[in-house]
Amino acid sequence: MKTRLERREHRSGLLFVAPLIAVLILVAGWPLARTLYFSLTDAYLDDSANHVLVGFSNFVEVAGDPVWWRAVRNTLIFTTISVAIETVLGLAIALLVHQAIPGRGLVRAAILVPWAMPVVVSTKIWEWMLNDQFGVVNRAIVGLGFADHGVAWTANGSLLLGVVIFIDVWMTTPFMVLLILAGLQILPEEIFEAAEVDGIPWWKRLWSITLPLLAPTIGVAVLFRVLDALRMFDLAYVLAGANVNAMTMSIYARDRLINNQELGVGSAASTMVFLLIAFVAIFIVGALRLDRSGATER
Amino acid sequence: MASVALRSVSKSFGHVPVINDVNLEIADGELVVFVGPSGCGKSTLLRLIAGLVPVGAGDVVIDGEVVTDIPASKRGIAFVFQSYALYPHMTIARNIGFALETLGLSRQEIDAKVAEVAVTLKIDHLLARRPRELSGGQRQRVAIGRALVRQPEVFLFDEPLSNLDSDLRMEMRMEIAKLHANLAATMIYVTHDQVEAMTLADRIVVLNKGCIEQIGTPQQLYHAPQNRFVAGFIGSPRMNFTAVSANVSGASCHLMGPGNLSLDVAITGPGVPAEIGVRPEALSIAAARQGKLTGTLERLEDLGHEHLAYVRIAPETAWSVRLPNSLARTALGTSIGLDWRFEDLFLFDKDGHRLDHSLSHERSAAANGALA
């Protein structure tokens, strides 16, 4: 039996979250429901009112399209490699910047620059720098005598995905540095002093103290980055359009939806992207909870 | 085991001087306590000895060897932190044995050492737990165990009991005293708690504003403080002070002050008294105009085992009096006298240095007797 006070607190709690729920239904729930619905129809974008239900045939069509599987493969490769590099690099830079080195403030500010730039801008800048004839990168390579002629970075299909990963690492490592640095700064300093007095060498301090205590922070950072990378669209699209060598799942969905005007099939692809990301998110969050039971409290 | 020495050690943080030219010799096996008000530099001094903070000038010497440029890990010391600083993600057993893992010992050897220390500290039933599952007192035992297992030359304690409640503090205080007696190890102990300082210390170092005010046994500091700061810092409630005007003629000196104070004292050294001090426990209540001082009874506090009376002797000065019995029959606001034995009087010159008078040497002698 709840007391009146409890009931009142419960009611005011509901009142406070009501606006948020209303907004969520409006901006997330409704479009999601529409997409789910259209994925079961044969609608076309130019006349979406005119359609019939076709069951799961759109999903079957997407699943039978080798281009879709290529996009899935690209996305997974991109996500795995870029997030892995960003995590290791981010951790290393955060540990470095965490030290009391001279000019630390300046370094911290400078590190943020790539992240603060719009994706389209940095992608375009890198595209120019990597241009096979006029790019500064090729100029340097040829000038320094590493090669006789420039490399066709963005035109060469096998290099394209690597270039996408490289630009993403350049852009989002600062985000990793920032999150891990924040995690480092809240670790109690005395624990590390205790280890220092106890004669624990630096690599053992890093491996047995810093990393386990930092695990929840790194976990959250990786979660953010993985979810972001799985739905990546802008970078690859600005750099290569619908080029199949760098096509991500999001670009595939957009391609079907806008270029081909196939609202039904595009919605089915979008739904599959959504399900895949949701699955990965649930998996990582679950793994984090398990980690967290041991590591946070002092 | 080892001796510790500080030679002209100074340290500044930025432009703020924290430690000023400190010289100190700590004998092998001695337990020395640093006390002082917050911000006096006592923790910094301990961290300088540990090597957690580099010295600005001067030298730190451990066991006859200058260790000023040697890192903390190589100084043969163990440090117990106020926050315990346990590794939160490790079991208690691993917390204690962690430092041994890098020494090339086998798992069995480490386990055996950890078990031995755990039994000594009565935490052997907690070895499989993690720090957050332990109470504050248990965590502090683990922190001490972590220091103990390494068999260091010197133990450094930075306010180790400050986060514990008073019962536990008393218990752990006795444990540390016992530990010191058993190990005969050199220990340096920082605290702001006078009781800890008085009960644990072989010698106490009183620090103020980064300088040593006095070094001595607890008895010396209590009975023969060198200056007003030490006199006021050691003892609880603190010593009562009041400014006096002195009329010196030869060796004898007439003192006048608030509360109808009028006293003749015989100064045995140079200097003119500017202030007198009497400890609350040395004061007794007399009838009005019968004691050496007269004041108004302002407040009574009954602490059960003792009673505190506050007597206002001047508009800005109230003296506290520590009494074994209640003053229940004395109404607040009445005028009463305060008396003391002559040897309980402390005299200070205008710079705060204590002056000897004809009876004070008996007190010094008593202090030296207590030491021996």
pLDDT tens-place string over residues A110-121: 888 888 899 999
Whether residue A193 and residue B79 make contact (CB cut-off 8 A), yes or no, is: yes
pLDDT in tens, A121-150: 999 999 999 888 888 888 888 888 887 777
The model's confidence at residue A298, banded by pLDDT at 50, 70 and 90, is very low
pLDDT digits (tens, 9 = 90+) for B276-292: 999 999 999 888 778 89
pTM (predicted TM-score): 0.81
Among positive and negative, which fits the CA dihedral B92, B93, B99, B101? negative
As a dihedral over the C-alpha atoms of residue B193, residue B199, residue B205, residue B209, rounded to 10 degrees, the angle is: 10
**B42 and B119 together in one domain:** yes
- Mean of pLDDT values over B347-371: 72
Same domain? B356 vs B295: yes
Burial status of residue A12 (CB atoms within 10 A of its CB: 0-12, 13-18, 19 or more) = exposed
Shared domain check, B360 and B219: no
Q: pLDDT at position B359, please?
A: 67
Contact indicator for B95, A262 with CB cutoff of 8 Å: no
Measure CA B169 to chain center.
15
Distance of alpha carbon B184 from its chain centroid, rounded?
A: 20
As given in the structure block, the two tokens for residue B59 are 């030298």
Chain B: closest CA distance from residue A97 (Å): 20
Which residues span the domain enclosing B241? 236-371
Nearest to B89 among A190, A195, A212 (CB): A212
The residue among B183, B208, B230 that closes a domain is B230
Provide the residue ranges of all domains of chain A, joining segments of one domain with +: 63-295
Query: What b-and-e string marks burial along A24-50, b requiring 16 or more CB atoms within 10 Å of the CB?
Result: eeeeeeeeeeebeebbbbbbbbeeeee
Among B212, B230, B248, where does a domain finish? B230
| Beta carbons of B247 and B286 less than 8 angstroms apart | no
The domain that holds B181 is classified in CATH as 3.40.50.300
| pLDDT exceeds 60 at position B308 | yes
The reply to whether B8 and B80 lie within a common domain is: yes
DSSP string for residues in A112-164 = HHHHHS-HHHHHHHHHHHT-TTT-HHHHHHHHTTS-SS---TTT-HHHHHHHH
Q: Are residues B160 and B97 in the same domain?
A: yes
User: Does A31 have pLDDT greater than 80?
Assistant: yes
The mean pLDDT value of chain B amounts to 90
Same domain, yes or no: B191 and B323: no
Q: Is the pLDDT of residue B241 over 90?
A: yes
Tell me, what CATH number does B322's domain have?
A: 2.40.50.140
Residue from B87, B113, B149 whose CB has the most chain A CBs within 10 Å, to mutate: B87
Do B149 and B118 share a domain, yes or no?
yes
Look at strands B77-80 and B57-62 and give their pairing: unpaired
Examine the domain organization and report whether B335 and B251 are in the same domain: yes
> Do B197 and B126 sit in the same domain of this protein?
yes
pLDDT value of residue A294: 46
B341 lies in the same domain as B224: no
**3-state class (DSSP) for residue B86:** coil
Name B197's bridge partners: none
Disruptive mutation site among A186, A198, A291, A297 for chain B (greatest number of B CBs within 10 Å): A198
Per residue in B150-192, pLDDT tens? 999 899 999 999 888 888 899 899 999 999 999 989 999 999 9
Number of separate domains in chain B:
2
Residue that is written with structure tokens 């406070």 in the block: A16
Contact B203, B189 (CB under 8 A): no
Domain boundary among B190, B213, B230: B230
Residues 6+ apart with CB under 8 A from A64: none
A151 CB near a chain B CB, below 8 Å? no
Fold for the domain defined by A63-295: MetI-like fold (1.10.3720)
> Does one domain contain both B259 and B120?
no
- Residues in chain B with CB shorter than 8 Å from the CB of A191 are 85-88
For residue A297, pLDDT over 60 is answered with no
Contact between A199 and B78 using a beta-carbon 8 Å cutoff: no
- Give the sign of the dihedral formed by CA B18, CA B22, CA B27, CA B30: negative
**8 Å CB contact of B73 and A198:** yes
Residue of chain B minimizing CA distance to A204: B102
Give residue-wise pLDDT tens across range A243-271: 889 999 999 999 999 988 999 999 999 99
Does B283 lie in the same domain as B139?
Answer: no
Q: pLDDT band at residue B114, thresholds of 50, 70 and 90?
A: very high
- What's the confidence (pLDDT) of residue A124? 93
